[in-house]
Every structure is written in C-alpha cells, then in structure tokens.
Amino acid sequence: MFTRTVAIGGVFLLVACVCPRTSGKGKRLQIERLGDLKDLKKLVRTRNNVLVWYKGRGSGNDKKLQLLEEVAEDVRGMGTVVWVDCGNQEARKICKKMKVEPGASGTLYHYKDGEFHLEYTRPETFKSLTAFMKDPTGDALWEEEPGANDLVHIHSEKDLHSLLKKAEKPILLMFYAPWCGVCKQVKPAFQEAATLVKKSHVLAAMNVHTPEFEGVKAEFGVSGYPTFCYFEKGHFLFNYEAYNAQANDIVKWLQSPEPPKPKVQEVPWNEQDSAVHHLTDVSFQAFVDEHPSTMIMFYAPWCGHCKKMKPEFEEAAAILNTQDGSPGVLAAVDAAAHRDLATQFSVSGFPTIKYFQNGKDTYTLPELRSKDRIIEWMHDPQPPPPPEAPWDELVSSVVHLTADVFRDVLKKKKHGLVMFYAPWCFHCKEAKPHFSAAAGQLEGDRKMVMAAVDCTKQQNQELCTQEGIKGYPTIHLYSYGKMVQHYSGPREESDFVEFMRSLPGRDLSNSQRSHTEL
C-alpha cells in the first residue's frame, strides 16, 4: 500500500492505494484480502460463486495462500476466491459476525447465488479446488474417495495413450460419467478390485462425459456409461460387461479374461399355441372391427411385468374362448415391434391394457392383472375409476424434483431419500401413501428430505437415465447430492421412518446451523 497526496479544488487529500499483489515473476495474483464486513457482504451478493478462506493462525498458511492464488487464476471468470485474516484484530470482527471459528489452517466457506452454500471439506489440492469451483454442485472427483488410491485416474487423452503405450500389465479401464447412477454403484467394487490385483493388473478410470473426449469415446466405442475396456500390452481386446459384479467377480474374471457372451434374445410370445390373438400393424384394425368386444394387452418382450402377466392373460383367454356366449376375446400387440400402434393409442408404459368396443378405443384399464379380474370385467365391462390426481399435485411433505433443480436441492441435505417412479406403476402407487406419510413425520428435520421424481415426464427422462433407473419404483439415498445407497427395504411408512432415523447426523433440535444473512 502507498499514499499519494492530490489536490482537488484547492483541498489536499491523502489517498490510500492498495497495489495488486504480484508473484516473484511479476504475475498479478487474483486472490483479494478483505478486511471490511460490508465489502464481504457486497461481494457475496453480487457474485454467484465465491470461495472465502477465513485464515487461522497456524503454520503453512503461506503455502495455502499460494495454492488459493493459483486456484483463483485457473477459475478466473467462473468464480471468485478471497480471504479474511481472522488473526487480525479488525478482521476478527468479520469472522465473528459470519459465525466462523477457523482452525489452525483456516476454514473455507463457499457462497452461491448470494447465500451460504457449504463448508468446503474436500481435499485442499489444486485439482480438487478447481474442480469444485468450476462445478460447486457437482460430484467430488473419484480420486478424492477413500479407497480409490490404487486406481489409475486418467485425466486427458494424452495420459490415456501414454498409459497404454507403456503398459506392462493388463489393463481394465472404466470409462464413466460422474452423474451416471450405474457408475456410482459399481465404483466401490471396482476400486476394491484395483487394490486386490494391483501387483498383477492395472485398473484405471477415466471421466469422459465432457465434449473434449468425443474422440476417445469414438476410438473405444463408448456409447454408454460405464464402458469397460480390457487391454493387454496396450492393445484393446474386448469389453467387460458384468455391471453388477462384486470385487471378487472382477478379480476372478481378470484371472481368465474372455469376451462377453452373445446376448440371448428375448423369447417371443408363442403365437401358434396361444389362446390370445396376436395383432400387427396390418391386422389390427380389421380385427377390432370384426370383434365388438376386445381386450388388448400392449407389451414389450423385455418387460418384466409383462412376462409376469402373460400366463394370467393366456389362461383368461383360454377360458373365455371355451365359454358359451363368450363376452369377448383377448388380443396382444408387441409394442416394441409395432411402434406405430403404440404411438397411435398413446401407450407409454408396459403392459398397457385397453378395451376396444365396436372397433374404438374405449377404456384403458390399469388395474387388471389377474386371470379372475380379467374374466370378471369382460362379463361386466365398466369404465375405470377416474384417475387420481398426479402425486405432485397432492398436498404432502414429499418434495417433487425436476431435472433442473435435482442437484441443487439434494446438495443442501445431508440425507435425501428419492423415489424415482412412473404414475402408471402399480408398485409405485402402493408405496406412495407410505412414502408421503413418512415424509410428514420427518418434515421437522431440516437435514433430511424425502423427494420424488416422475421419470415419465420428458424433462426428467435424461436425469433418470443418468441415475441408472431401470425399473419403478427405484429408491436411492443421497448425501449432499451424492448417491450413496440403493434402498431395497420394505415400503411401509414405519420402514421408511426407521431407515431415515437410523442415519447419522440427524437434526434432532429442528434447527440448522445458522449463518449471517447476506
């Protein structure tokens, strides 16, 4: 700092000027020191991505300041890094007002969109800090996780080809995306396997979801996440496809690696020996015109619920076919093969049961699944009860999330239990009232949230794919936005409540750590 005397209108003023700090090479440093509470509040209000280091009195602070200066330079234009010296008598008032008690090495607080976001607890390294500042609500780097030290983490195309060129051991490489639900589920087993085989093999991981890795994905055929590629002497041999494998399964496979077996095609519905009439795009309309009372099952060969219902539907058709004065016939459409029909009749899930009267689509019947119910209904066709209001329109303590707010909401909660569902799903309907009641019981705990995502809504479909949702309902537990566990327990109200109350760090006082309003 220097002083300069200037004359304005005959009045002499002493102006204090703060010079920008420079490194030994004359490079301007980006981190700013703040000593006034108003300046700090203004900065946080006017910028949407601010990291504040509240400096303590411990040793090593010069190195930490240098690290933060390098981070500030790297994230310039995307985020702001500043520091407050809590050891200074004047600045100590700021720390007290902001309710910060820094330890010896200080405390890092992040502010987002004008409000306190979180205390930074990830590794204080250049890579972790810059990754955080570039995506404050994103997932932590895989290499930050405990137990991931024996994995080789690849960060660039150059590093990848260097690893393959120098490879002496066989390599199993996992291409992944940080938001991928299946990737998150397989990570613990993969990194455990890396430790078990580190003397004989290399297990590596590479995050390739960003645009600069399109060439890598094309080179190794990465069309989805995760993709596992096996290499020997740096040459790709084949893929590994056991996505649900445990660590010992991976180790066993590496001892005798072999290409994946050809996928077994789904066995089609045996139409020749079926009592059900199987319709196509060509035969459909003529059939329903000819038969004035027809129940039709729209199905997909891979659909688990369809497979379960087929025997019931077959038996019901056989009984109706042998009855005198039969009330109607049963038919089926493979909606995966005859997509135009599925589109024409707004079939969005499987199985979908529709009733056609005199050639016209009359009713959609979501509740008919058993042989006896089908036969009973065909003898006395009645319109289905009016559809219930969408779950997100009902008053409850469940927070209904969409893709645009999903991460932001969960990042603020220590524990978030999320049900991914489809409105037409029978098991979802059974679980909804219990899930809602449990949310009501836990509403007072501000560190927890029970939330739901409708995966049939267009804006949520990519999110559900990213989270690895393949059936409904799927229930995941998140901690500060990171998926940590798949919930597979019972779905009664008491079960949900007991599970959530068993988690550590609950807010029993119905209060949350407060921060000064900015």
DSSP for 37-55?
A: HHHHHHHHHH-SEEEEEEE
**Distance in angstroms (rounded) separating the CA atoms of residues 124 and 428:** 43
How does pLDDT run along the chain (518 residues), one tens digit per residue? 333 433 333 333 333 333 344 444 444 456 888 888 888 889 888 888 999 999 887 656 788 888 999 999 888 888 999 999 887 877 788 888 888 887 777 889 999 888 898 888 888 888 889 888 988 887 778 888 777 889 999 988 999 999 999 989 999 999 998 877 778 888 889 999 999 999 999 999 999 987 788 888 888 888 788 999 999 998 899 999 877 788 999 999 999 999 887 655 566 788 888 999 999 999 999 999 999 999 999 998 877 788 889 999 999 999 999 988 899 999 999 988 888 898 899 887 788 999 999 999 999 997 788 999 999 999 999 998 877 788 999 999 999 999 999 999 999 999 999 999 988 787 898 999 999 999 999 998 999 999 999 998 888 988 988 888 877 899 999 999 999 989 988 999 999 999 999 998 655 444 333 333 34
Joined together, the tokens standing for residue 518 give 């900015």
> What b-and-e string marks burial along 81-96, b requiring 16 or more CB atoms within 10 Å of the CB?
bbbbbbeeeebeebbe
Q: Which amino acid is at 380?
A: D
Q: Which amino acid is at 17?
A: C
Q: Of 95, 183, 229, 464, which is the active-site residue?
A: 183
Residue 428 designated active-site: no
Nearest to 397 by CA among 347, 442, 463: 442
Residue 306 designated active-site: yes
Residue 86 designated active-site: no
Residue 19 confidence (pLDDT): 39
> Could you give the residue ranges of the DSSP H alpha helices within 114-156?
126-134
| Crossing angle of the two packed helices 61-74 and 126-134, in degrees rounded to 10 | 40
Residue 16 confidence (pLDDT): 36
Residue 19 designated active-site: no
Residue 137 confidence (pLDDT): 81
CA distance to 220, 346, 430, 436, 457, per residue, from 392 (Å): 42, 22, 16, 11, 12
**Distance in angstroms (rounded) separating the CA atoms of residues 122 and 514:** 21
Q: Of 306, 425, 428, 455, which is the active-site residue?
A: 306
Q: Of 86, 303, 428, 455, which is the active-site residue?
A: 303
Q: Which residues contact 329 (CB under 8 A, 6 or more apart)?
A: 277, 291, 293, 294, 295, 317, 320, 321
Residue 507 confidence (pLDDT): 56
- Cβ atoms of 246 and 193 closer than 8 Å: no
In eight-state DSSP terms, residue 144 is: G
| Residue owning tokens 């659909």 | 303
Residue 1 confidence (pLDDT): 37
Q: Of 86, 180, 428, 464, which is the active-site residue?
A: 180
